[in-house]
Structures are given as structure tokens and as C-alpha cells.
Amino acid sequence: MNKQQLLFGLACVTYAVAAFVLFPRFNSNVLFGSVVLLAAGSWLYGRTIGLLLLLPTLTHQFLIYQHFANSYVYYTDRIAGTALLVTVVFIVGTQRNNLRAIQETTNWLDETVAKRNATLEKMTRRLIQRAEARRTAHGRDLHDSIGQQLTGIQLYATSLSEQLNADHNPGAAPAHSLTTRARTVHNNIRQTARLLFPVQLETIGLHSALDELEACIQTLRNTRISIKIEGDLASLPPNKALQIYRICQETALLITQECVPQTIDMALKHDSDRIDIQVAHDGPPLAGAIGDSLEAQLIKYRLNMLAGHIAGLPSQHWRSAFHFGIPLETEGHAT
């Protein structure tokens, strides 16, 4: 028996005794205590238990009237009191049962949503992992296949340009122009491949990959970007370092694509327990619809994997200056 049941039982016993003492003074009005207790029992235990409690309540009422039958006659009160008790049990007990049903349904919905969210998080993590693998494969293909072919074309064009120049052939100038264009295209392909597959991230570390990200953005998007780093990033786990790199990369690409700024300033601060990434640019703010784009959602998913958050921003709206907070004491939902 819990504390609630004990208090309810004591209240019933106290009322049953007190009703006989108070009845001569309050007459049938003392029976309203039965209504209160029966309503409380129906609310605490439901309609079925309330109907069971109705039996001792009616018995108690019958005993009171029988005990004082020589002095008082309350036939009308007996009928009205009984009807009131039954009505209270059905109304209060039904409301309690409905409330319990709603609570059970709510709990079931919460559990279902939690399971669906867990499934969604697993699917999202797998999609990000597969997207990362595909990016790496495309980056290697660009670097190893197309990049190698462009290297060969560049060598042939250089050789042709030198030969035509030695022979004082008028075609030396177009050949030299072809060599320059081949070199430019090769450099752009190499930069694009490094964006897809940051080699330095595996061999040298996150710091060097971010340095190269600066050069790639400036070359491919013609936007000056400055990435300042405070603290040691070499101690970060490879998976977490890759996600942080992708957050910086995708944020910079999203800003250059949608806002077309001239300058992007990014700062990474590594403390003992967190990493703060501050981003600012001189272009217009990102609109709310863009903030809900696939690119923005991907950044938010990566933050979720790191248990991070976008700090200091209204919901569904990115401004021209914002920052990400990523804790290091936990691995988030996934690493």
C-alpha cells in the first residue's frame, strides 16, 4: 500500500466515524462528504474501482439513515443522494479513464517518435558516410584519372609550344595559350579534387586541410577567405576532424553560392572541452528558405552527429554572422 492509498483509506475511515457524530447537527448535508471521497476515489483509481467504492458508500449512507430513522425521515434525500453518487462515479471515473487513455497514447507516441528518430539518425549517419565515401571516390577519380590526363595534355602542349617557338612558327603563341589554359584547368581540377577528398586530413591533419580550403575557395569561387585557428587540432579523432572540416567547407561553399560575398572570415577556437567555429561574411544574410536547404540541413546533421549546435541564431534563419559550438567531452549521437 502506497502513501496515496493510505491517506485515502484514513480519510474514508475518519469520515465514516465523523458522519455519525455530525449528522444530528448538519442533517443530510453531512453526506456530501461521501460525494467528495467517492469523486476522489474515482479520480485516483478509475471508474471500475469507483463503482466498487460505491457499494460501501451506499451501505454507510443506509446505516446513517437507519440509525437516525426514529428522529428524521429523509426518503427524498436517499434517492437524490444515491443518484448523485452514481453520477459522480460515472463522470469523474470516465474522465479519469479518458485521461489515462490519453496519457498511454501519448507515451506510446513518444516511444514511437523516439524509435523513429533513432532510425532516422542511423539512416542519416549512413547517408553521410556513403556520401563521404562517394565524395572520396569522385575526388580520387578526378585527381588520378582526369588529373593525370590533363597532366599529359599539358606536357604535350608545352612540348609543342617549345618546338614551335624554336622553329619561329606563328603557331607558337596559340600553343603557349593552350599550355596556359591546360595548366589553369588542371589546377582547378586538382583544387576541386582536394575539396572532395582532402588528402592532407589523413596525412598531415585538419590544420593543413583548412589551409588548403582557403586556397581552393579563393581559386574556384574568387572569394577571399581567412581561416584563423586557435589551439591544437592535431589531437582530434579522425572522424570528428573530418566532420569539422566538412562543416567549414560546406558552410563556405553555401555562403559563396547564395550570398556571393567578397570576404569570408572564419575562426576555429579549440579549448579543452569544446570547439567554437565563428563565421562572418560581407554579403547579404542567408534567407530563411536557404537556411532550410539541403546544404544547410546537411550541416545541421553533421552538427547533430557531434552533439553540436548553432549558437545565437533564431530558428530557421541564418544571418551574416553566426557560430557553431561543438563539445568535445561527448561523442554526440555518432562519431
Domain that holds residue 19: 3-115
- On whether the CB atoms of residues 261 and 283 are closer than 8 A, the answer is yes
Q: Do both 109 and 206 map to the same domain? A: no
Residue 93 lies in a domain: yes
Q: Is residue 51 part of a domain?
A: yes
Residue 50 forms part of a structural domain:
yes
> Same domain, yes or no, for 325 and 208?
yes
pLDDT in tens, 68-87: 766 665 655 667 777 777 78
Domain final residue, candidates 115, 133, 150: 115
Tens of pLDDT, residues 267-324: 999 887 889 998 988 888 776 655 667 778 888 888 888 888 886 554 455 667 778 8
Note whether residue 19 is domain-resident: yes
214 and 109 part of one domain: no
Among 115, 136, 167, identify where a domain stops.
Answer: 115
Do 210 and 82 fall within a single domain? no
Our count of domains for the chain comes to: 2
- Residue 169 lies inside a defined structural domain of this protein: no
Whether 180 maps to a domain, the answer reads no
Tell me the pTM. Answer: 0.59
Q: Would you give the end-to-end CA distance of the chain in angstroms? A: 47
Shared domain check, 206 and 111: no
Residue 318 lies in a domain: yes
Domain boundary at 115, 136, 154, which? 115
Q: What is the full per-residue pLDDT of the chain (335 aa) written as tens digits?
A: 678 778 878 888 888 888 888 777 777 677 777 888 888 888 888 788 888 888 888 888 778 777 776 666 565 566 777 777 778 888 888 888 888 888 889 999 999 999 998 888 788 778 777 877 777 777 777 777 777 788 888 888 888 888 888 888 888 888 888 888 888 887 888 778 777 777 667 777 888 888 888 888 888 888 899 999 998 888 888 888 888 988 998 889 888 888 888 999 999 998 878 899 989 888 887 766 556 677 788 888 888 888 888 865 544 556 677 788 898 864 444 43
User: Looking at the domain assignment, is residue 158 inside a domain?
Assistant: no
